[in-house]
């Protein structure tokens, strides 16, 4: 049986975007972000994170830093009984200083590759799913994958999410 999903962008949605966040000690959750994940979990949604991480391509940090930060985020969410079903990130950038990451990738938003990869791996009800992002590229990726995109700019993320789950969760395909 398919179930809906909430796709969250990371920097600027789940955590404050202070520029190339990769250090655990510097991650600051957005107000209501952890609670938003739990609300989506409790409502029966898959919860995914889809994030461009060009800092890897720019040589600012390594993929191991991204993975360690995601593990820390998962552990911190578990404290309140919340979880992320999958973290997806794209380390590629066409202007990368690290050659192995210098490429155009279908996984880099605004392309829908990360979302499409998750749709292949999980039984997602696309018509009842949403993506929450803070940039037009997030919304473009959602649209390209057939997912409704919602632009988040500020405020309590849990309060932002609640009405969206009610609105989209009641739709059927």
The residues annotated as belonging to the active site are: 9, 11
Q: How far apart are CA 49 and CA 47, in angstroms?
A: 7
Report the 10 Å Cβ neighbour count for 43: 16
The upper half-sphere exposure of residue 79, i.e. CA atoms within 13 Å in the direction of its Cβ, equals: 8
Region for 109 from its dihedrals, namely left if φ exceeds 0, alpha if ψ lies in -120 to 50, beta otherwise: beta
Q: Are 13 and 152 within 8 A, CB to CB?
A: yes
Look up residue 66 and give its two tokens: 């991204």
What gap in Å lies between CA 104 and CA 54, rounded to an integer?
Answer: 12
Residue 141, CA distances (Å) to 5, 61, 112 in order: 15, 25, 4
């Amino acid at each position: 049986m398919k179930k809906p999903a909430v796709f969250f962008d990371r920097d600027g949605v789940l955590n404050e975007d202070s520029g190339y966040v990769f250090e655990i000690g510097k991650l600051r959750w957005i107000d209501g972000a952890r609670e938003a994940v739990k609300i989506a979990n409790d409502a029966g949604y898959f919860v995914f994170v889809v994030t461009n991480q060009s800092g890897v391509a720019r040589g600012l940090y390594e993929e191991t830093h991204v993975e360690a930060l995601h593990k820390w985020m998962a552990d911190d969410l578990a404290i309140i009984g919340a979880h992320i079903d999958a973290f997806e990130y794209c380390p590629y950038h066409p202007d990368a200083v690290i050659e192995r990451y210098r490429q155009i990738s279908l996984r880099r938003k605004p392309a829908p590759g990360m979302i499409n990869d998750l749709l292949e791996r999980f039984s997602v009800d696309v018509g009842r799913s949403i993506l929450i992002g803070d940039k037009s590229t997030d919304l473009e990726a959602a649209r390209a994958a057939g997912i409704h995109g919602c632009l988040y700019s500020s405020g309590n993320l849990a309060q932002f999410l609640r009405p969206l789950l009610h609105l989209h969760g009641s739709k059927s395909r």
